[in-house]
Amino acid sequence: MRNLTLSLLAVVLIATIGLGWMFDGIYNQYLNQNDEQDQHHSSTQQQDAISVLEQVGTHLAVALSTLDNRQEFIDKWPTEDTLSLRLQPLKNFPLPPALLNDLTAGQPLLLETDDSIALHFYLARTDELLVLSTPPQITSQNNSLLPIFLTSLFYLAVLLLMLLWLYPLAKRLMTLRQTAKCFGEGNLNQRINVGTISYIRDLELEFNRMAQRIDDLVTDIKLLSSAVSHDLRTPLARIRFGIDTIAEEDDPVLRKKFEQRISDNVDEMVDLVESLLSYARLDQTLITLNKAPVDFKALISNCIKNKSQDDIDLTFHAPQQRVMVDGDLPYLTVLISNLLQNAYQYCHSQIQVTVVELGNDIVVTVSDDGQGIAVEQREQILKPFIRGNGNEKKVKGYGMGLAIVKRIVEWHHGNITIDNSESLTGAQFSVTLPKPL
């Protein structure tokens, strides 16, 4: 789920920061261009309006200079108009000497505030000022639809980006749902094809592992039922036959002989139940491995010493230096012991054990000179309750050894392969295990 979290975070950042920054840049650039145009246009309009007002004010100043009833004329000026007139004594209007000289020389004085633009004209006859006022020019407003358009475009881009992100996620989830549905309906071969780029890759891998686990358990149950029905039925039949025979037999010697046979058959059933319980314990998912660096060379030597037989020639090849494996010592001992036991059971006279180092891995190979294992049987031979073809009656056992080996190898994140030995022509089991980090 880490890919899902990272991709969601990336989409959110791109959508909110990246797209927002992009549209802000577009909008600001548009505003700057419009401001420059509006300022230029407004300045031109304002200059034209002031020129007109200067002409009007100049004519009014000349006209009012000749009138005696100037205030009456001012009072009759329309108040509803944006252009207003008033008279003001010059002495009540303090100015710097330079501006005062220009004003008295007949040059209009322009004063602009936030509320108005005022042109002052000097009336020499009465020593007054004619003040002509008008509101400032209103700058044209920007297009009010542009922010709405850019905002809509922003949300549309975010929506499209989220849809582009959600589509593969929804597609993978639908595939997962369909596969889980088919798996729940009993099609245990259903698996998800995990792509290289997937938001829920971890979830898909876990589903495949779960499906494989369930498939293996169902297969084991089928094999268990078959093995129990076959391997338990025979000793039970012998026990029943022995009990019936003892009931009809009066000879103490024969009775003791049949009792011993019954005891042997009971021991055989106990061995089978113990094997089943051992495999069941190995099959528990809550098992804990106490991994540590293990001297693999010494471990194999001890197992060979414990399993040695006088009539079998066993050769052991390993590097001179110590060979270390990262694993659980007791389970690795079981692994090697089962491989050796299998070789002793099926060989004729020779067994060869080889240990080599390959990069970060250790490979142990156990070969024998038996009849070997056919290619079509190699996958099945690693399943529980499966024994070599044609050996069910010659070799004692229940087909659990190699299944236990496979389980232990999987726990240690290794792998096991089966081939035919080139030197001994029999079966060859190769187990790869990781070195300590």
DSSP characters over 345-364: HH-SSEEEEEEEEETTEEEE
Which of 93-102, 144-153, 164-173, 282-291 has the largest mean confidence? 93-102
Q: In the chain, what are the domain boundaries?
A: 2-134, 145-214, 232-282, 292-434
Beta carbons within 10 angstroms of residue 401's beta carbon: 21
Name the least confident of 161-165, 181-185, 221-225: 221-225
In percent, the amount of the chain with pLDDT more than 70 equals: 76
What fold does the segment set 292-434 form as a domain?
Heat Shock Protein 90 (3.30.565)
292 vs 124: which has the higher pLDDT: 292
Q: What is the pLDDT of residues 89-112, one digit of tens each?
A: 888 788 888 888 888 888 888 887
Q: What is the pLDDT of residues 41-91, one digit of tens each?
A: 555 655 666 787 788 778 888 787 777 777 877 777 777 667 788 888 888
Residue 200 three-state SS: coil
Q: If you average pLDDT over residues 175-195, what whole number do you get?
A: 85
Q: Hey, CA dihedral for 369, 371, 374, 378, is it positive or negative? A: negative
Please give the structure tokens belonging to residue 252: 């103490």
391 vs 339: which has the higher pLDDT: 339
The model's pTM is 0.51
As a whole number of Å, the CA-based R_g of the chain is 51
Q: What is the pLDDT of residues 251-272, one digit of tens each?
A: 888 888 888 888 887 877 787 7
Going by C-alpha positions, the residue among 61, 167, 53 that lies closest to residue 112 is 53
pLDDT band at 244 (very low <50, low <70, confident <90, very high): confident
> Looking at the DSSP assignment, which residues form a beta bridge with residue 418?
429
End-to-end alpha carbon distance in the chain: 27
Q: Are 224 and 276 in contact (CB under 8 A)?
A: yes
